[in-house]
Amino acid sequence: MSHLMSNYLPLDVTFTAGEGCWLTDNKGQQYLDCLSGVGVVNLGHCHPTITKAIVDQASTLLHTSNWYRIENQELLAERLCGTANMDKVFFGNSGAEANEAAIKIARLHGQNKSIENPIILTANQSFHGRTMATLSATGNSKVQAGFAPLVSEFIHVDFNDSDAIKAFDGNANIVAVMLEPIQGESGVIIPDDDYLNNVQSICNNNGWLFILDEVQTGVGRTGEFFAHQHNNITPDVMTLAKGLGNGIPIGACLTKGAANELLTPGTHGSTFGGNPLVTKVALSIMDVFENDNILDNVNKQSTYIRSQLSEILKGHSAVKEIRIKGLMIAIELNVDCSTLLQKALEDNILINITGNSIRMLPPLIINKDEIDIMLEKVIKLINNAS
């Protein structure tokens, strides 16, 4: 009998080592990792710079407390704010925690305006986490099932429909709009080019905070360091996690302008948040991005994948839509996908199935030869599924 709770249903494989885009299981078999631990291990497994940062920091100082100044945290905050053109950072340990901070900031924004029943607008089919507030923000009834009463008050509107948000113009109870720039968990749903710009101006006109959940899209995944940088905008609040730690647990909530001073001493905290180890690792990740031109690789490989997929799958009877931004890739099929995950594993490749889409989030360091292997295996999967 397993003593683990039943909230996961893992596939029957145990990985024991990883290097770059490759994983090895306990039987010595190798697998191409095109999932990156769900968009986490963006610089690949056991990147030497990150490993060195972990070892160096672990042999110097792991943890003190946020009751004392932490130099690595201050340096990382400065670096992130410089890259994002934002002002302040709170560090937690996960995406959900970063979003909890954002939601609390939105509540305080409402309190400052004497709003008694603050409302946050979020999107249908969104995913923001599994804590009570973040699952309430999430626009997916499956994530919420069984956990009533939910945290009020989130109103869900259709994604990629700025008119649905504009319809609330002048509503005095709204404090914020919270969106993913691209919806990841629901299958790489990419909005129109001007959607985020339109939402930002609606937020500005109404004095609502514009919160972007970049937990999955942030840290290079879409070809800019932050996905909203494709739109030349800056949100009031942005959350990060996943790729910021490459496997070391870290979350961050960044603010700008009116959102900067809402958290005051005693209003929020986290024991582990931003400790010397995790912030050292994140600093080393930012070094690798700069020194190794990671974004150039994301954009180059993304263009290659797009051209290959559109050529090879053109007119394919099983393919409904191909969606790609940077190295966030989804191929939506019009056939049953339920067995594809297991079949992919049997062919030594890690992917994800979300709804009827094959989703791939390969490490951002992936090279052309590895992409050719990925494409060959995925196309074989699609051919066999149809």
Ligand X SMILES: Cc1ncc(COP(=O)(O)O)c(C=O)c1O
The CA angle 102-106-107, to the nearest 5 degrees, is: 120
User: What Rg value do the Cα atoms of the chain yield, rounded?
Assistant: 21
Please, which residue, 357 or 382, has the CB nearer to ligand X? 357
Whether 231 and 69 have beta carbons less than 8 Å apart is answered as no
Query: By the 8 A CB rule, do 226 and 295 touch?
Result: no
CB of 300 to ligand X, least distance (A): 25
Of the residues 91, 127, 210, 226, which one makes contact with ligand X according to CB under 6 A: 127
3-state secondary structure of 93: coil
Least distance (Å) between residue 245 CB and ligand X: 10
Q: Write the CB contacts of 199 (distance below 8 Å, at least 6 apart in sequence).
A: 162, 165, 177, 179, 210
Residue 18 or 245 having the CB closest to ligand X:
245
Nearer to ligand X, 38 or 62 (CB): 38
| 236 and 210 Cβ atoms separated by less than 8 Å | yes
Question: Can you tell me which residue has the tokens 């400052």?
Answer: 112
Assess 180 for contact with ligand X (CB under 6 A): yes
Nearest distance, CB of residue 274 and ligand X, angstroms: 15
Return d(Cα 66, Cα 275) in angstroms, integer: 8
Q: Are 242 and 285 in contact (CB under 8 A)?
A: no
> How far, in Å, CA of 359 to CA of 331, rounded?
7
CB 301 within 8 A of CB 371: yes
Q: Which stretch binds ligand X (CB under 6 A): 167-175, 208-216, 313-321, 335-343?
A: 208-216
CB closer to ligand X, 128 vs 359 = 128
Catalytically annotated residue among 90, 213, 225, 226: 213
Q: 322 - beta bridge partners?
A: 331
- 127 assigned to active site: yes
**Shortest separation between residue 170's beta carbon and ligand X, angstroms:** 29
* Residue 213 is a binding residue for ligand X (CB under 6 A): yes
Could you say which of 242, 256, 280, 325 is catalytic? 242
- Beta carbon of residue 129, minimum distance to ligand X (angstroms, whole number): 4
100 contributes a contact to ligand X by CB under 6 A: no
Residues in the chain: 386
The answer to whether residue 326 forms part of the interface with ligand X (CB under 6 A) is no
DSSP assignment of 316-350 equals -TTEEEEEEETTEEEEEESS--TTHHHHHHHTTEE
Binding segment for ligand X (CB under 6 A), chosen from 125-133, 267-275, 335-343, 344-352, is 125-133
Of 43-51, 155-163, 211-219, 304-312, the window that binds ligand X (rule: CB under 6 A) is: 211-219
- Quickly list DSSP for 270-305: -SSTT-HHHHHHHHHHHHHHHHTTHHHHHHHHHHHH
Rounded Cα–Cα distance for residues 212 and 85 (Å): 14
The nearest distance, CB 97 to ligand X, in angstroms, is 7
Q: Which of 122, 136, 186, 216 binds ligand X (CB under 6 A)?
A: 216
Size of the site for ligand X (CB under 6 A): 15
Q: Of the candidates 42, 57, 94, 186, which one interacts with ligand X according to CB under 6 A?
A: 94
At position 347, the amino acid (one-letter code) is D
Q: Which amino acid is at 20?
A: G
> What is the x/- site pattern for ligand X, positions 272-311, by CB under 6 A?
----------------------------------------
Q: Please, which residue, 216 or 297, has the CB nearer to ligand X? A: 216
Determine whether 147 is an active site residue: no
Q: How far is the CB of 24 from ligand X (least distance, A)?
A: 25
- In the bound state with ligand X, the residue whose beta carbon lies nearer, of 189 and 202, is 189
Listed residue (328, 331, 325) closest to 363, CA to CA? 328
Give contact residues for ligand X (rule: CB under 6 A).
Answer: 38, 94-96, 99, 127-129, 180, 184-185, 213, 215-216, 241
Catalytically active residues are: 127, 213, 242
